[in-house]
Amino acid sequence: MINIKELTIKKAHEALKNKEYTCVDLAQTYLTEIENKNPELHAYLAVYNDVVEQAKKADGMIEKGKGTMLTGIPFAIKDNIFFEGKVVSGASKILENYVATYDATVVTKLKDAGAVILGRVNMDEFAMGGSTENSAYGPSKNPHDISRVPGGSSGGSASAVAGDLALGALGSDTGGSIRQPASFCGIVGLKPTYGSVSRHGLIAMASSLDVIGPMTKTVEDAEIVFNIIKGKDKFDATGVEGELPKKNRYIIGVPTDFLKGVDDDVLNNFNQSVEKLKSQGFEIKEVSLPTLPYALAVYYILMPAEVSSNLARLDGVKYGSLKEGKDLMEDYFLTRGEFFGKEVRRRIMLGTYVLSTGYYDAYYGKALKVRELVKQDFEKVFKEVDAVVTPVSPMPAFKFGEKSNDPLQMYLADIFTVSANLATIPAISIPAGTVPREDKNLPVGLQIIAPRFGENILFDIGKRFEE
């Protein structure tokens, strides 16, 4: 019997290496778990039919001494990442039957490393949302309390890892879509430096913000996955490479002027986390990030603008679902009206508006300038400190329907996460304990933000915090 509750990528790798069980045994254990739990959690939209073949191949790699840290490790991928020959829908009706014609670079890297990809997991439609309630196929549930959301947009990835339906998962993060669900589900979620992981084969939402990253049970596991998926790629012109060295001593910044509007118990938990870091020998320093309060407004101008242009290609003509009208223009209206969900339509309209003549300079042009100021704020702060900590979200996981009728409330939940995307810097969410809600204890995360290429710093501080 494999105890998957206690399993991590590191432990599974050791067990497979020592022949305690095979990759096929491990894959079968997870397939059984998915069969039992997925009807309730709805993390997976599809489980692949070649999982056992993948596992046999992984066993062969280990047999030949060609195994890596990820060989035989059961993985889930977000439904906006291409896997050749499999449906990839972006959790939207418009791509319901769209079959990927090639592998995303991250999938190629996982396959080369011998990972076993179990299936594709649920998300907010085209990654737009913070609760997975915007999936065209129904929401995923939070394993800690199924009456609550798992977060989003990578809610299926978080639900799968937290619910023991995968040992690791890939998510994508445009404004917090890896970190917020990781926080809500009590797992680790890394948003890498923009461009450090190839976006080739990711359905684009907002191209200057999107980044693929790992969601795992431990910081060490996130580091293992990141080291395999990172690197420049000839198919992604935005690719960058670099690495900041680890240090013996870190100074950690806390932007106290920015901790408004946070639930009392979440703020209390954050303060305890800061005290814990202090007791572990980290130097804590108050810092000021004056433009941070504007980050959310900037994000909700730039992101919809990019959404509006990126999703223009989805018109039912070249690929995807089509609802026919009397002429081409009506085809477009009917197709997009019928097959795009409410939130996607809302963001396309917002984006088209801020890009339109007469408003472009007032909104989009101004937002680009403020984005530059947010970047400069962080650059200034990182001259004084090695990392910055904040809560991940102002609240723990909320109940289904609690915020979905008020988009503004939903958008405000991104207040602490969007700035790292705007500044193109790495950030990680690590479990920081729980807060009580009704009769449940719900997980909350601590967000650590580092300078560009500072993933090593995040892993180093994160591992010490976990201890």
List the catalytic residues. Answer: 78, 153, 177
Note the helical H segments in 311-365: 328-339, 342-355
CA-angle at 196, arms to 192 and 202, nearest 5°: 85
Tokens of 212: 């693929």
Query: Do 210 and 177 meet the contact criterion of CB atoms below 8 Å apart?
Result: no
Residues 387 and 100: their CA atoms lie apart, in Å, by 39
Count of beta carbons in the 10 Å neighbourhood of residue 300: 21
- Residue identified by tokens 């920015």 is 258
137's CB contacts (< 8 A; 6+ apart) are: 42, 45, 89, 91, 122
Residues 76 and 167: their CA atoms lie apart, in Å, by 8
CA distances from 246 to 21, 86, 111, 289, 350 (A): 36, 40, 30, 24, 42
Q: Map residue 457 onto helix, strand or coil.
A: helix
Note the helical H segments in 64-154: 105-112
| Residue 54 half-sphere exposure toward CB, CA atoms < 13 A | 25
- The two beta strands, 168-173 and 188-191, are unpaired
Could you tell me the end-to-end alpha-carbon distance of the chain, in angstroms, rounded to an integer? 28
CA nearest to 413, candidates 394, 390, 427, 428: 394
Tokens of 395: 């609240």
